[in-house]
Amino acid sequence: MQHNLKLTEADFVNTPLGRSGVSKVTTPQFLIAQTAAINILTTASSGRDLCDTWLSPSRITQIVDHLRRTEHPSATVHLERLLSWRRPPPTGTVLSDSLGRRRTQHSARALTNATTQAIDAMSLPACIWRQVRDNAPQMPERVTRLLPLTAPIALAAMGRKADYRKLGLEFGFDYDIDEIRYALNHLVSNEHGTEVFSYLKQLHAHLLSCPPPIDYRRRRRIFPAPSDIGRNHTRLLARAANAYLTEAFTWKIQRYIWQLLTGSDPLVTYGAALLHGPAAYSYRKFVLTMPADLQDKSGEVAQRLLLKHRIGEPTSYTPQFSAEFGTWADRGREEHYLRDIGRSDLRRTSLSLTLAASTAGDPEEFVHLALSGEMVAALRLCRFTETALCAWDTEAAATLGIRSTQISRECAYLSKSLGTEIFTRRMPNGARKLTPTGTALYNLARANIDKLRQVASYEPPCAD
């Protein structure tokens, strides 16, 4: 008591007191409490060891309730183990580390922890519905381009430890795991990643409660490619379209019915080969100008194909979004024809998961893709034009002021985009020389170098 009468300001220690602010306790009291806490945390291994301590069952319940209510609890792993309580896995695109720093969460972990229930891939088309794309939040251009392909994979991966290779094959995309994970990282970890992630969670919850009345997996296996639709009904459809039964008409109408039945992307062939150029434009015009009689007859043919395989499902289905309430309607719209192909700009739509322009097929098409707004492709074409005549990778790297490994990666990118090598070498690390394809690409890029620099915001290196 005599000691307490002579307390000064130095004998008090500020300690946090929850929401009420800061409380002052005496130094002896603080040291006693600290010693008791350290003793318990270092000796007790579970709640059974706390029977004779001040950490009673009622206090344990109170602490656990507080940790559940707190968004960013400061409890250590040791305290959680002692309380026999486990923190729920974090959700969202960002999380806090042990020091409280915000870190971007990897897409695989974010999708796995997004929910406790998963939906089967049978409820998802290979190319996400047009309504989902139209009502999605604002996204970077690179994410918008890939959303039709990455959204089904992301929705199927939510709530489970997904095998991305199997998911890719399930939706007909011949990509490896690294390519798919790279694309999902773009989807989840970007400037608007939180909004996109929340939007996909909302759609996932809607599909859990109101699944589509279509088994897309069964249809993908019955009709893996447009040619599997068959040619038995093409004469009837050509008569309805008042058109000649040509190979071009057969190709378009088979692709149309295949897209109507399976929900697949009409410009991605089986094995994820990209369809661009005049064929893509011709198909879009064919769908947009299709006569009503041909739409009805195509729907009847699609329904007959389903009945042939004893499938009593609607021909096509699209979920409906209420912009007024910001929610998905309980019932979607069943259709027997397609309003459009689901694409608004073919030239700017690149479906590669790792490349900006995928397999363009020829130099002219690749340069057109770059000029249409593909910044990565335009940048690499600018660098290729500056260094194409250099005989060695080290010489090219010195010209641009970058590493030679970067030169090798960009050359591999261009070769993969064109489907053939652009340089030939007599030895693995020997001098390089342009191939005929590389020469054609160099001439085309050089003729359009000013536009390419404008698209890529590229400044040429200064001459010494």
Q: What is the pLDDT of residues 339-390, one digit of tens each?
A: 777 666 554 443 443 443 344 456 876 787 677 666 777 888 999 999 999 9
Can you tell me the distance from the alpha carbon of 234 to that of 257, in angstroms, rounded to the nearest whole number?
11
Stretch 268-277: mean pLDDT, rounded?
55
Region 34-49: mean pLDDT is 59
Residue 211 falls in which region: left (phi positive, over 0), alpha (psi -120 to 50) or beta: beta
Residue 320 has pLDDT above 50, yes or no: yes
Name the β-bridge partners of 333: 318
SS3 letters for 127-162? Answer: CCCHHHHHCCCCCCHHHHHHHHHHHHHHHHHCCCCC
Query: For the residues 99-121, what does the mean pLDDT come to?
Result: 71
Phi, psi of 32 (to 5 degrees): -65, -45
How far is 242 from 206, CA to CA, in rounded Å? 42
**Contacts for 214 with CB less than 8 Å, ≥ 6 apart:** 123, 263, 313, 314, 316, 317
* Residue 240: Cβ-neighbour burial (10 angstroms; 0-12, 13-18, 19+): buried
What is residue 12's predicted lDDT score, i.e. its pLDDT? 54
Cα 462 to Cα 399: distance, rounded to the nearest angstrom: 9
Contact 187, 143 (CB under 8 A): yes
Average pLDDT over residues 428-445: 89
Average pLDDT over residues 123-127: 89
- Pick the more confident residue, 340 or 216: 216
Mean pLDDT of 260-271: 74
Q: Which residue has the higher pLDDT, 415 or 66?
A: 415
Question: What pLDDT is stored for residue 95 in this prediction?
Answer: 46
Q: Which residue has the higher pLDDT, 318 or 109?
A: 318
Alpha-carbon span 328 to 210, nearest angstrom: 10
Q: What pLDDT score does 420 carry?
A: 82
The structure tokens listed for 385 are 């034009």
Query: pLDDT at position 6, please?
Result: 54
Which distant-in-sequence residues (6+ apart) come within 8 Å of 76 by Cβ? none
Q: Which residue has the higher pLDDT, 307 or 24?
A: 307
Question: CA 318, 129, 207: angle at the middle one, nearest 5?
Answer: 70
- By three-state DSSP, how is residue 16 classified? strand
Please state, rounded to an integer, the average pLDDT across all residues of the chain.
76
Closest by CA to 400, choosing from 414, 379, 418, 371, is: 379
CA atoms of 186 and 122, how far apart (whole Å): 25
Is the Cβ–Cβ distance between 120 and 166 less than 8 Å? no
Residue 23 parent element (H or E)? strand 22-26
Average pLDDT over residues 233-249: 86
What pLDDT score was predicted for residue 203? 92
Q: Is the pLDDT of residue 44 over 70?
A: no
Residue-wise pLDDT for 202-212, tens only, equals: 999 999 999 99
Query: Mean of the pLDDT values across residues 304-310?
Result: 88
Contact at 8 Å (CB) between 199 and 131? no
Tens of pLDDT along 187-201? 887 777 788 888 999
How far apart are alpha carbons 269 and 17 in whole angstroms? 63
- 3 pLDDT above the threshold of 50: no
Between strands 327-328 and 316-318, the pairing is: unpaired
pLDDT for the residue 442: 92
When pLDDT is cut at 50, 70 and 90, the band that residue 94 belongs to is very low
| Gap between the Cα atoms of 62 and 144, Å rounded | 47
Q: What is the mean pLDDT of the segment spanning 404-428?
A: 84
Give me the mean pLDDT over the 416-421 stretch. 78
pLDDT over threshold 70, residue 82: no
Phi-psi region of 299 (alpha: psi -120 to 50; beta: other; left: phi over 0): alpha
377 versus 436: the higher-pLDDT residue is: 436
pLDDT over 50 at 56, yes or no:
yes
Q: How far apart are CA 441 and CA 360, in angstroms?
A: 12
Residue 274 and residue 315 in contact, taking contact as beta carbons nearer than 8 Å: no
Is residue 358 within 8 A of residue 280, CB to CB? The reply is no
DSSP per residue over 39-74, as a string?
Answer: HHHHH--SGGGGTTSS--HHHHHHHHHHHHH-SS--
Q: Higher pLDDT residue, 135 or 18?
A: 135
Question: Rounded distance, CA 418 to CA 246, Å?
Answer: 30
